[in-house]
A and B are shown apart, each in its own frame.
Chain A
Amino acid sequence: MKFAVQINSSPYAGAAGEMGYQFILAALASGHSVLQIFFYFDGIYHGLAAQLPPDDERQFLRRWSQLSQQHGIDLVICISAAQRRGLLSLEESRRQNRTDQDLAPGFRISGLGQLVEATINADRFIVFPGA
């Protein structure tokens, strides 16, 4: 079965990241595929490049990038939610005459149309809610 997942809470203010990650691992282990993770609401903070938790803590960025590299899962950050919260890709920040590059490698910024397409293409769309 093809899954797509939406993550709605930030790494440290909710459980959506952990639950979503564990769900995806279980789905992959059961032979399913995961097309896309769509980060929305405060979930966009998962794509912040400069997250530097201590080494003995959970490394969300490493987890997501491994899922993306090893299983080809598309990591999409919603552009309107990201801009509102100050997470800019290099391309977007140039447009604003800024120099920020806030987007972690492996993620891409796109619109809500990607979420709609994921709901159409996936057999199941699973939302992990925010706080």
Chain B
Amino acid sequence: MKKYLIIMRHPPHGSIHVQEQLDIILTLAAFDRLVSLLFLDESVFQLFRGQSAEQYEHKETLAIFDALALYDVNDLWVETESLMEKGLILEQLTLPVKTISRARVSQFMSGFDVILGG
């Protein structure tokens, strides 16, 4: 079966982007696909504990991330440098993630059959 990697690059509430990406992830999960997520750049804030989108009337995407495990989507990767550049530490994220260094990302990506970025 093909392995899917979804690349996240956007901050949580700047646009509808993350929500629409999550729709793709949930659809892949509904089709019983093997899905992994990689968080790069500002997307590391998507898992930041304590965020709220309530005042913007924006969907709480963090709650959807929290629910992904129910759909067997639990292979989450965060790029170490992105986390450091944004001044975050793993303890500030709400979900257990694995870390990968920037130098290893390219090789990591080659282990997947379908890569959905952008």
Interface residues of A (CB under 8 A from B): 6, 8, 16, 40-41, 80-81, 84, 111-113, 115-116, 119-120, 125, 127-130
Contacts and interface: CB of A to CB of B under 8 A. Distances in A.
Contacts of B24: 40, 112, 115
A127 B20 contact: no
Main secondary structure of the interface of B (DSSP, over half): mixed
B23 interface: yes
B118 A119 contact: no
Contacts of A84: 16
Interface of B: 2, 4, 16-17, 20, 23-24, 27-28, 30-31, 33, 114-118
B27 A115 contact: yes
A75 B69 CA distance: 33
Given A112-B27, A116-B33, A8 B118 contact: yes
A56 B31 CA distance: 45
The winner among B16, B31, B118 for most chain A CB atoms within 10 A is B118
Residues of A contacting B: mostly: helix
Contacts of A112: 23-24, 27
Contacts of A116: 27-28, 31, 33
Contact of A127 (B16, B28, B116): B116
Contacts of B31: 113, 116
A87 B20 CA distance: 16
Contact of A80 (B2, B23, B116, B117): B23
A127 B115 CA distance: 8
- Closest 10 pairs between A and B when the two form their complex, measured CB to CB: A129-B118, A112-B27, A116-B31, A119-B114, A127-B118, A8-B118, A125-B114, A116-B27, A127-B117, A116-B28
Given A81-B20, A120-B2, A113 B27 contact: yes
Given A116-B31, A127-B117, A41 B17 contact: yes
Given A6-B118, A8-B118, A41-B17, 4 more contacts: A41-B20, A113-B27, A120-B2, A125-B116
